[in-house]
Amino acid sequence: MEEIAALDELERVAQNLLREVDSSAVVLLKGNLAAGKTTLVSKIVQILGEGAATSPTFSLQQSYGERVFHYDFYRVSFDEILSLGLVEELEKEGLHFIEWADDALKELLIDAGFKLFELDIDILNESSRKYRLKALYA
């Protein structure tokens, strides 16, 4: 999946992403600050009827219903992720969206056989983004 969309077209992006990823998968969200990572997760949560999403920046993890999980690892090291048991959380059935995953975590998840996707979000201008989704598993 690769597409360019304005913020008012975000529902289309979210619907396309939901068609592309498995119902139980991990999606690494990559993009600069204010790229719209949490905004996209919020739209997905809304589409799935699980309420409204908020940024997990200070809580590390937010759960929406029993099938959508959102993580923000901006301030957390790989060793802290392991010691807190957050990798085990990713084994739960459902969609897991991770902001600010580092390469060590990405490699661990690939090696462990997770259904892993990476979504790059590039800011084109104030209201448009480019979304590129790719599978990282065989």
Q: Residue 44: what are its φ and ψ, rounded to 5°?
A: -65, -45
- Regarding beta strands 2-6 and 128-135, do their DSSP bridges make them parallel or antiparallel, or are they unpaired? antiparallel
Query: Domain range spanning residue 32?
Result: 2-135
Q: What is the pLDDT of residues 36-48, one digit of tens each?
A: 999 999 999 999 9
Looking at residue 53, what is its pLDDT?
80
Class of residue 125 by CB neighbours under 10 A (exposed 0-12, middle 13-18, buried 19+) = exposed
The predicted model gives 60-84 an average pLDDT of 93
Q: What is the pLDDT of residues 3-60, one digit of tens each?
A: 999 999 999 999 999 999 999 999 999 999 999 999 999 999 999 999 878 777 678 9
Question: How many domains would you assign to the chain?
Answer: 1
* Tokens matching residue 31: 């993009």
pTM of the model: 0.94
Looking at residue 57, what is its pLDDT?
67
* CATH assignment at residue 73: 3.40.50.300
